[in-house]
Structure 1
Amino acid sequence: MAWIYLILAGSFEVVGVTGMNKVAKDKNLQSYIVLILGFILSFCFLSLAMKTLPLGISYAVWTGIGTVGGVIIGMLFYGEARDWRRILFIGLIIVSIMGLKLTT
């Protein structure tokens, strides 16, 4: 169950980062709600996951999901570059997360 919490925490981290981008573009109530709720839920699920999983693994996986998710959202919805090197390094992050999962 801790891994599910950790995946949810990373997913809500992506929501929070998306909210940051929305606030930078449109300073309206909806943008702030997405930002605040995304990060609150992210930290709540991260704390639940860390009751079982070690700090190092939890933090690495959480930031990895947030990083990969943020880059993918940026490429799909905000016109960021889709260079093959970016995609390669996203793949390396994903492989690293899988490696951490396999070693715990």
Structure 2
Amino acid sequence: MAWIFLIISGLGEVGGITFIKLSDGFKRWKGTVGAIVAGFISFYFLSKALQTIPISTAYGIWTGIGSIGSVVLGMLVFGESRDWRKMLFLSMIIAGVIGLKVVSGGH
């Protein structure tokens, strides 16, 4: 269950950063409220995951999910560059997240 909590937490992180973008520097109230709610979800589920998963693994994967999600969302929704170099480094983050999961063992 802890891994599901960690995935939810990572998705909350992606939502939070997206809403921060949509808040336009916290000038738009809907984006601001969305950022606060998504941030709460992200940190709540991260705290639940940390009850079982070691912090070094959980935090690395959480930030990886946030990074991967925000880059992909930026490309798909906000029209950001899909440069091959960006894709290469995105692949490295994905490999790192998978590697952390693999070496974390049975946790």
TM-score, structure 2 normalization: 0.92
After superposition, the CA RMSD in angstroms is 1.2
Deviation of 1:25 after TM superposition, in Å, equals 6.6
Greater Cα shift, 17-26 or 46-55:
17-26
Please tell me whether the aligned partners of residues 22 and 31 of structure 2 are also in contact (alpha carbons under 8 angstroms).
Answer: yes
| One-letter amino acid of the structure 1 residue matched with residue 95 of structure 2 | V
| Residues 16, 38 of structure 2: 8 Å contact kept | yes
Q: Note the residue ranges of structure 2 that are not aligned, 5 or more in a row.
A: none
Retained in 1: the 8 A contact 2:20–2:26? no
Aligned to 1:11: 11
Unaligned residue ranges in structure 1 (runs of 5+): none
Following TM superposition, the consecutive aligned residue runs of length 4 or more in structure 1 with deviations greater than 6 angstroms are: none
Distance of 2:47 and 2:26 partners within structure 1? 30
Q: What amino acid does structure 1 have at the position aligned with 2:65?
A: I
How high is the sequence identity, in percent, across the aligned residues? 43
CA distance in 1, matches of 2:34, 2:90: 25
Q: Is the 8 A contact 2:64 2:97 kept in 1?
A: yes
Structure 1 equivalent of residue 96 of structure 2: 96
Q: How many Å separate the matches in 2 of 1:30 and 1:42?
A: 18
State how far apart, in whole Å, the 1-side matches of 2:32 and 2:17 are: 11
Number of equivalences: 104
For 1:86 and 1:7, how far apart are their aligned partners in 2?
23
Normalised by the length of structure 1, the TM-score is 0.95
